[in-house]
Structure 1
C-alpha cells in the first residue's frame, strides 16, 4: 500500500520542558493522543485507540526536542516500510515562539483527513497544557 507523508506545524505557547513529556511518555500520550498507551516488557509502546492496539518503538529521541515512533506489526516483523509519527519542537529564534512539527507517515488517510485529525488532536493537547 502506498504511504502518505503529512507534515504540519502548530504554534504552542508553552515551554519545551512542559510539552515534551506529552509527546514522549506513555502517560502524556494517553492524555491527548490515544485512549491509552502502555509499554510492554520489550519497551514497545502499545497505543490503544478505536478498539485496536498499535505497536511502536521509539527510534529517535532527543529530550525536549524530538521523538519518533516507528509503528510495526508484531505478527509481521519482516515488514520494512513502517508507518511512523515524528514530533519535533522547533523555535523561531526571532520571536522565541515554539512550534510543534508533526510528521505522520502512514497509509491511512489523505492530507485533508490527516489535517483535520491532527488539528483536533493538537487543539486537545493545547487545552490540556494551557498553550
Structure 2
C-alpha cells in the first residue's frame, strides 16, 4: 500500500489457489465495486478514470496502467497531486490457470515501501480469505 516517496521500494510476490474461474474472479480485481468487497474500505473512480483506494479513511489514487480481461490488471499509485512518479508503487494481480489441474491461481505483486515480509504475508492472507468468501472459492 502506498506511502510517501522517501523510502526505497520492496517487491513482495505471493500466489494463492482460488477455487473459481478467471471470469468470476476478474471483476473482483478490475472494478471498483469488486475491489470494495474484499480489498479496502472503498474504491471510487474519479472523473479522470483514476481509482481512489480508501484505507483508514485516507485516499490513495492509482491508475489502471494495464489489464488483460480475465488475466491481469496493474494499478500504479500516484503522488498527492495525482501524478505518476518515477519508481511508483504498484499492485499487480495476475490470474493463471494450470493446464494440467485446471486450478486457478492469483499471483499478487505488491511493489511498495512496506518491507516487513511477515506483515505483508499476513495482510495478503487475510485479504485473500475475504476474496475467497466473496467468490465462494
Residue in 2 that maps onto 1:14:
20
Return 74-83 or 22-31, whichever deviates more: 74-83
RMSD: 1.2
CA pair 10-78 structure 1, distance change in 2 beyond 3 A:
closer
Residue in 2 that maps onto 1:32:
38
Q: Where do 5+ consecutive residues of structure 2 fail to align?
A: 1-6
Residue in 2 that maps onto 1:108:
114
Residue in 2 that maps onto 1:5:
11
2: CA distance between counterparts of 1:111 and 1:72? 23
2: CA distance between counterparts of 1:68 and 1:34? 16
Scaled by the length of structure 2, the TM-score of the pair is 0.92
Higher strand share: 1
2: CA distance between counterparts of 1:25 and 1:10? 20
1: CA distance between counterparts of 2:83 and 2:101? 45
Extract structure 1 runs of 4+ deviating beyond 4 A: none
2:101 to 85, 90, 95: 95
Residue in 2 that maps onto 1:55:
61
- Match of 1:32, SS state, is coil
Residue in 1 that maps onto 2:4:
none
Task: Report how many residues are paired.
Answer: 131
CA pair 42-121 structure 1, distance change in 2 beyond 3 A:
same
Scaled by the length of structure 1, the TM-score of the pair is 0.96
- Match of 2:37, SS state, is helix
Residue in 1 that maps onto 2:134:
128
- Do structure 1's residue 23 and structure 2's residue 22 form an aligned pair? no
Q: Where do 5+ consecutive residues of structure 1 fail to align?
A: none
